[in-house]
Chain A
Amino acid sequence: GAVVSQHPSWVICKSGTSVKIECRSLDFQATTMFWYRQFPKQSLMLMATSNEGSKATYEQGVEKDKFLINHASLTLSTLTVTSAHPEDSSFYICSARVGSPSETQYFGPGTRLLVL
């Protein structure tokens, strides 16, 4: 149980294009989903927290107009990187939590984004 998928696994795109990443909880309903970014050899950095049906809460320093998050259902959240630039190249990982806030977060496999 508690399987989270992400799609796509890898994205290579040109600078200026937009990229959409999907995060799905496959066998449970996720009340809350999280989006992280991780640069090489660095820790996970929380970008935003999204609850189904409401606006995402962004961490300080994360541009909400650049990183659009839609949590339309209890099993799907999407992150769109708008007008991507080379500095946005990173490993983007989502996680999902079921039930109460103290519950464990389960991670998707991650999406590696390379912007040329």
Chain B
Amino acid sequence: GQNIDQPTEMTATEGAIVQINCTYQTSGFNGLFWYQQHAGEAPTFLSYNVLDGLEEKGRFSSFLSRSKGYSYLLLKELQMKDSASYLCARMDSNYQLIWGAGTKLIIKP
């Protein structure tokens, strides 16, 4: 994606915590989205951050620092069903989503 960087792949253990980082170009910013995409399926919305700080939703939390152009998705109490790709997307000044390439998360028992 254009100026969206996230790791290609991560591995974690069932029951553990994992943090997926995303850095982005700070100009023309209107919010940061995280989506989950299981193999062969369409993305599903996880979170949206437009202000700095941490947003918590159950086992998933998302953090944003606008000055640093940095976000992370935190997944707690990992379950096997959390194995998926996690897509970071920045909304630009035209309200278009600029997508990262996604982070493939592999959960091991």
Tally A residues with Cβ within 8 Å of B: 17
Do A102 and B31 form a contact, CB below 8 Å, given A43-B102, A110-B42? Answer: yes
Determine the distance from Cα of A42 to Cα of B91 in the docked complex, in whole angstroms: 19
Which A residues touch B48, using CB under 8 A?
104
Which A residues touch B99, using CB under 8 A?
43-44, 46
Q: Are A102 and B91 in contact (CB under 8 A)?
A: yes
**Chain A residue at smallest Cβ distance from B48:** A104
A94-114 CB mask vs B (1 if < 8 Å, else 0) is 000000011011111110100
Which A37-74 residues have C-beta < 8 A from chain B? Answer: 42-44, 46, 49
Determine the distance from Cα of A102 to Cα of B33 in the docked complex, in whole angstroms: 11
Instruction: Give B residues with C-beta under 8 Å from A.
Output: 1, 30-31, 33, 35, 40-45, 48, 50, 87, 91, 95-97, 99-102
